[in-house]
Amino acid sequence: MSQDTLAHRWPLNVPGRFYVTQDCLDCDLCRETVPTVFKRDSGWSYVYRQPQTEEEISLCIEVVDGCPLSVVCSDGDEYDWARVTCLVDRKKIIK
């Protein structure tokens, strides 16, 4: 995973393999498909909770493939997310 990948995440995404970039079309596909993972804020979707079950992971992979703008992304399982500190202070974003 590159730092470029981190830089393009919508800051509200929780750390983890799945995330949305800021170029979301707000079509609602991801939120309808996996409401336990995706939420809407100010016209964009973001990952508020990483998938916990195999079913949720499978649905998220479907969303990665089905997002019309290809802005739902996955960095896979290789990276140790416990080592990553968030690049953006979310408290400055959430009002």
**Site residues (CB under 6 A) for ligand SF4?**
20, 24-30, 45, 67-69, 71-72
Least Cβ distance, residue 83 to ligand SF4 (angstroms): 26
Minimal distance in Å, beta carbon 5 to ligand SF4?
A: 16
- Nearer Cβ to ligand SF4, position 64 or 88? 64
Output 22 or 52, the one with its CB closest to ligand SF4. Answer: 22
Assess contact for 46 and 13: CB atoms under 8 A.
yes
Closest separation in Å from C-beta 31 to ligand SF4: 6
Comparing CB distances to ligand SF4, the nearer of 12 and 71 is 71
2-20: b (≥16 Cβ within 10 Å) or e: eeeebeebbebbbbbbbbb
Which of 64, 20, 15, 60 is CA-nearest to residue 40?
20
How far is 26 from 40, CA to CA, in rounded Å?
8
